[in-house]
Structure 1
Amino acid sequence: MIAPALTAALAALFALLLFEQYARRRGPYQLAWGLGASAFAIAAATEAIAAASGWSEALYRTWYLGGAVWTAGWLGAGTLLLLARTRFGYWYAFSLAIAGLVTILVSRRLEDPSAGPIALAYSLAAWITAAIVAWRCYLGDARWSRTAITLTALLSVAAAPLVAFTPLAAPGYAVDPTTGAPVALLLPAALRLLTPLLNVSGALALLIGALFSVYVYMPKRRVLPYSSDPTQRGDELLFNLAIAPIAIVVNFVRSLPDTARAWRVGTLNRRVPATALIAIGAFAPSITDSLNRVGSTEWYQGGKLIGAALLLAGFLVSVEDPDELRLPLIGAPLRVLLRVLRGAAPSGARGGPRRSRRG
């Protein structure tokens, strides 16, 4: 009960901070992240309540909608909106393509005869959206993110009545006999196949987006050049897109010594450690959830708690000025905590020069 309760509290604090920041800056990515963090908090809260008093049908439905459907999708959506003016659209198109493939693979494990056609329909929607996103990104059109968000919103809205009104066999919920964690066995294929589509694309967007941001803001040595300039010839663009993943990895590794040096002297952009924490925070629950599915149950709740803590930590590290934290009651102790930590940290941990506060 303690782990899911702590997870819910941390995720709720993360959501409140994001909504408060959105109220001041009006950055759409803050709103999307806030929605995802809220769904994360609600899902964790249902698990905490269930651990204390037992599962019910209402808790089970709420858990599935918040945790299995909305959380990763909207956290990923926030990353898309944050990086809308970059070439990250290519990476998200790749994530959607993978999500469509995973959806089909998952459908083959379901005994429901409708799973195959439903998975194909979902996957086609993902692949068509991926193609549109990639094309708009190629044209340098920042509206590729709107295309991606539209799919997330449509699937999220479609899921709500399905979760609310789908008849469930008694007792109205299903849990893993070892961990007591809820499982989706009672739900129809139309709902269960939404999970890989939204979760895989959303989790990959959050993870790859965080790593992408680290790469963008770290001091770089481009030992292996590449270009995503849409004005180059088609064959050159395809070649550059093909070598881009390799080039980014090579340049990233080569740039690590410069990044460490910038950390030591205090010139490292604060977004580098912040987004690194967010990347790990996105990755940890994915790993432990996967382990849970194959029978290793020890870290199921721990992974969620670690993920929530690191996501919140990444946000706090990204805050330029502690005075920006203005939440009633909570803001004051957080401001004191940040000032103490930054005052006690070595110069390299202070985050480097201040940047514009534009959302």
Structure 2
Amino acid sequence: MVAVPFATTAIALFFTLSLVDQFLERRRPYQGIWALGMGLYGLASLLQGLWQLGVTGEVVFRLWYITGGMLVAAYLGMGTLYLHAPRPVAHGIFGGLVVLTVVGAVLALVTPLQTGADLRHLYGQALASVDPQTGMRYFPAGVGALTAFLNTAGSLALIGGAVYSAVVFAQRRQAGYRVVSSVLIALGAFLSAAGGTLERFNFPQAHTLALLLGIVVIYVGFLRSREVIAVFRFPFARGASRPGVT
């Protein structure tokens, strides 16, 4: 299973570069925020892989918790809000997210881990927010509540936005590939969110696999959507080809 998080990292890196390339060309806020979210996705997976290779310690754990546990879903969902919500509303929510990001990161860096939850119990296996031997969470309830809020809100925004797009396109009976794209994005987001739920119920290996499956499905969905990426190309390459056109 060590190869799984590194595969996820590679896909997330390419996805991030694609989004950065598109953002530099089109300057759409949702592309920039999605790029940030995908970058966090890849960093969290990289930390997961390094941990399983023996690069352990409290700093690695805390950075993994911040990037993967707290922020990935929140920023992917924020990008979706910028795609669908009025700009003033999206700006206001983004301001709140920045504040919560700073608060959450500080708490995750300085809050002592709970007594009875030992990081050594994770050595040689996947990172998790729950001690696999004692069943205790590493962070106290306050940090966990903020993490749950960010994950839930972000996942609902990402999945809800994709479902909304699918319904709208289906009702208009236009651009069938957009319906397929939106369904794939919703499915991939659901897989990733389900993986997070499995991790919190002490199934970290299933979580790692779900993250890989989720990002693959999401990426395929994004590449099928002209609404999101009008022109697909390898990142920073001059040649381009429109998706769905051979």
Q: TM-score, normalised on structure 1?
A: 0.59
Match for 1:162 among 104, 107, 119?
107
Task: Structure 1: state its 5+ residue gaps.
Answer: 86-141, 221-258, 260-266, 344-359
Shift in CA distance, 204/322, structure 1 to aligned 2, threshold 3 Å: closer
CA distance in 2: counterparts of 1:323 and 1:203, whole angstroms: 26
Shift in CA distance, 168/158, structure 1 to aligned 2, threshold 3 Å: same
Shift in CA distance, 298/51, structure 1 to aligned 2, threshold 3 Å: closer
> Which is higher, the Rg of structure 1 or of structure 2?
1
CA distance in 2: counterparts of 1:297 and 1:324, whole angstroms: 34
Where does residue 18 of structure 1 map in the other structure? 19
CA distance in 1: counterparts of 2:123 and 2:61, whole angstroms: 15
Where does residue 134 of structure 2 map in the other structure? none
**Number of residue pairs aligned between Structure 1 and Structure 2:** 237
Where does residue 133 of structure 2 map in the other structure? none
Pairing of 1:1-359 with structure 2 (within 5 A): 1-85=2-86, 142-168=87-113, 173=119, 180-183=126-129, 185-220=137-172, 268-294=175-201, 299-319=206-226, 324-328=232-236, 342-343=245-246
**8 Å Cα contact 1:36/1:70 also seen in 2:** yes
The Cα shift of 1:51 comes to 1.0
Give the AA of the match of 2:126. Answer: G
The Cα shift of 1:306 comes to 0.6
CA distance in 2: counterparts of 1:32 and 1:84, whole angstroms: 14
CA distance in 1: counterparts of 2:175 and 2:90, whole angstroms: 28
The Cα shift of 1:326 comes to 4.8
CA distance in 2: counterparts of 1:309 and 1:155, whole angstroms: 28
Give the AA of the match of 2:79. Answer: G
**8 Å Cα contact 2:126/2:204 also seen in 1:** no
Shift in CA distance, 161/295, structure 1 to aligned 2, threshold 3 Å: closer
**8 Å Cα contact 2:52/2:124 also seen in 1:** no
Fraction of identical pairs, as percent: 29
Question: Which moved further from structure 2: 287-296 or 194-203?
Answer: 287-296
Give the AA of the match of 1:25. Answer: R
**8 Å Cα contact 1:12/1:37 also seen in 2:** yes
**8 Å Cα contact 1:65/1:159 also seen in 2:** yes
Shift in CA distance, 42/295, structure 1 to aligned 2, threshold 3 Å: closer
Task: Structure 2: state its 5+ residue gaps.
Answer: 131-136
**8 Å Cα contact 1:76/1:206 also seen in 2:** yes
The Cα shift of 1:163 comes to 2.4
